[in-house]
Amino acid sequence: MSFVPSIAHAENDSTILDHDLADHKFYSQKTQVQVVARPSGSIAEEGFTRPITPSEIETSAGTFGDLSRFIQTMPGVVSDNDQRNDFLVRGGNPSEDLFVVDNIDVPSINQLALSDTTGGFVSMLDANAIQQIDFHTDAYDDHFDERLSAVVEISTRTEGPISRHFTTEAGIAGVGGSIALPFGQNGSLFVSARDGILQYLTSNIGMDGVPHYRNAFVRAQNSINDKDSWWGMSLTGIDSIKITPAWNDSQETNPYNIAYAGWRNTTGANWQHLFSDRSFGVMSLAHAAQNQSVIENGQLQDGAIVYNENTTDQITTLKYDWVFEWNRFLTLTTGGNASVDQLNYRVAQPIGLQSPYSQNPAPLDVMAMNRQFAPFSSGAYLQATFHFKHDATLSAGEREEQWALGGHAGGTSRVLFSIPIMGKLTHVGYSQYEQLPPTLYLLSFNNLKNLRPIRSNQITAGVIVADNNRARVTLELYQKRYLDYPVASNYPQLSLANITDTFGQAFLMMPMVGEGTGTASGAELSVQTHMTSTLDLTGTLAYARSWYAGRDGILRRGNYDVPLQVNLMGTWAMAHRLILSWRYTATSGVPYTPDNMPLSIAQNRDVYNLSEINALRAPSYQRLDFRVEQSRKIGRGVMTWYAGLENALNRQNFYEYLWEPRQQGGGISEQTQMPLFPDGGIKYSF
């Protein structure tokens, strides 16, 4: 559930209450949240928001203890690759998700996050740093910077004084540790760091290379007096990977050597002031920066550079949010933000690339870009929430945005009405969102003049079917319509939502215009049960469709059109402090575009059949994961060991078809996802 303000976590106000995260036994962690007075259990400013606890993440099978991989199990969320942890929400692109850590916007929370994605192997934020996650997909609050699909709101803050605490850990996700210390009168200081170990275990994780990553996180907080408190954080990630396909392997599908190196940091601080028992404000200042270097050499072009990128993005943001409880019936929330971007982009395709969308075998789209400038953007919003009799609530808001990059401005609206019907809390809402396309696409070719902010209009509805100590059952419906979507200017059939995945392969930049449309709709059922005092079961079932049109206006399946999604998860607390968890995932196969075989054979390369973009569907995806852990007291602390199996049935799940350019006579090869993979590690806390 989400309470207003979700942005504040006060410690010295009379309206603070202890609130069990979902009023269920299977959410055992408690937190203190600053709320305004209203009937307990109401859904006010947003639709149903899924709270996630760190214990769920750490004990779940098939996630490596990674928060982004755990979110992949949520209803309406799919992942297109076991090797990465990005997630696709309700038919949207991974870049349509916003991450907020302690009220600070983080451009990407994951390692190896390239310009057109948000995913990596694991996130930069360790699970033991997290206190609470709220996953927003349904008419989310206006104070968030706009994204088209979802908001992941993460709180690492503890409430009140803490004792000194140390943790060390080693596992597949890396080795590292953390320390938590008292700080000031009522504050705390937390520091964690981790270094990846995959590079020491293997030379290939299935993509002709192994990522190396390091991350660090610092959080501090304290209360100044009864009315003022502050908190701040800094999150840093450094990563690299070299992809070197075997040049003499006739079955190799990737003819490019790729070297990537990158780093990213977000640092910010918040100041909260209580004006009265009915009003408070939060001011925050943050700076985020990221750099990535990518060099691609064509093995079949005598090692010539086919793509070269060195890009730096920096953004400094000042924002303020103010909440005022006018009376018991009306709460107002308003605020604004101002940002300055510092962009330094050097990107080149010096000899062009063979495009699988073109029948012309000659390298196309030669490009050279060197841009350095600092655009300004701003936003402001006003939101009102009305509380009526019988726990009925109406929330409405308006947000205005301005982007100097491209010279765009616009406004979006949101309205949500919730009311108990026959004892079942029900809501219906309408919301609009806008978001700029990825900067790299904007600055390439002449796209900045031709691409506008992507717009999404969404209708949502939901009902809590059951809610008691044994089970919680929710049903949600949605329909999204995309407008001004980026599409290829020279291929009328092609939308950005239909372009094949380029992670680990040559980038494919092309001229684009904002003339596309799209639609995504679906139904999501979620069941959480507390079967016994030792057994919890969770199940999600979703049916969803997504369609996108290029310049020709014909709707085609999006890359993320996965009609059926099923997740079954369980946790069993056994004897001798053993905890067994499992997860079974099954989805419809992903759509794909077949090759034009006569042309592909004649030109010895992938040449897609543009009359069948995403017209075929791969076999279904299925995966079963197990994990077991045990904790025992050793010395002054607690030692926990864990072991697991990812894809325990070793199913060869389809990923994509790729051409084998070194094969005699040519031919396509089916690429599969991660095979059976062991997981394990130890943790010691004291």
DSSP string, 603-672: HTS--B-GGGTT-EEPPPEEEEEEEEEEEEEETTEEEEEEEEEESTT----EEEEEE-TTSTT--EEEEE
Span 290-321, pLDDT tens digits:
998 999 999 988 999 999 999 999 999 999 99
Distances (CA, A) of 289 to 108, 127, 251, 263: 10, 23, 40, 8
Task: State residue 507's pLDDT score.
Answer: 61
* pLDDT at 74 (0 to 100): 87
Q: Measuring CA to CA, which residue among 156, 154, 169 is closest to residue 65?
A: 169
Q: Which helix (H) or strand (E) holds 288?
A: strand 279-298
Two tokens at 333? 């929330």
What phi, psi does 445 have (nearest 5°)? 55, -130
Q: Over the stretch 116-146, which tens digit does the pLDDT of each residue have?
A: 555 667 788 888 889 989 999 888 888 898 8
Please state whether beta strands 616-617 and 454-467 pair in parallel, antiparallel, or not at all (unpaired): unpaired
Cα(474)–Cα(425) distance, integer angstroms: 10
Q: What is the pTM of this model?
A: 0.88
What's at 188, amino acid-wise? S
Q: Tell me how far apart the alpha carbons of residues 478 and 486 are, in angstroms, rounded to a whole number.
A: 23
Q: Give the C-alpha separation, 548 to 516, whole Å.
A: 7
At 301, is the secondary structure helix, strand, or coil?
A: helix
With beta carbons less than 8 A apart as the criterion, state whether 268 and 284 touch: yes
* Per-residue pLDDT at 412: 95
- What's the pLDDT score for residue 565? 93
pLDDT of 83 reads: 75
Amino acid at 125: L
Q: Is 201 exposed, middle or buried (0-12, 13-18, 19+ CB in 10 A)?
A: exposed
Q: What is the pLDDT of residue 118?
A: 56
Residue 281's alpha-carbon distances to 13, 100, 287, 343, 401, in angstroms, are: 13, 18, 20, 31, 21
Q: Containing H/E element for 20?
A: strand 17-20
Inter-residue contact 399 to 381 (CB < 8 Å): yes
Side-chain-side CA neighbours of residue 292 (13 Å): 22
pLDDT of residue 521: 96
- Please report the pLDDT score of residue 469 as a whole number: 86
Burial of 321 (0-12, 13-18, 19+ CB in 10 A): buried
Q: What is the DSSP letter of 353?
A: B
Is 3.40.50.620 the CATH number for 17-685? no
Average pLDDT per consecutive 10 residues, the chain (686 residues; last block may be shorter): 34 30 28 31 60 87 87 83 81 86 90 62 84 88 88 86 89 90 89 89 77 92 92 94 88 88 95 95 96 91 91 95 94 96 91 88 88 93 93 94 92 94 92 91 86 95 91 94 94 87 62 94 94 92 95 92 94 92 94 93 92 94 95 92 93 89 84 88 92
Every domain of the chain and the residues it spans: 17-685
For CA atoms 51, 437, 503, 565, give the dihedral sign: positive
**Res 13: pLDDT:** 33
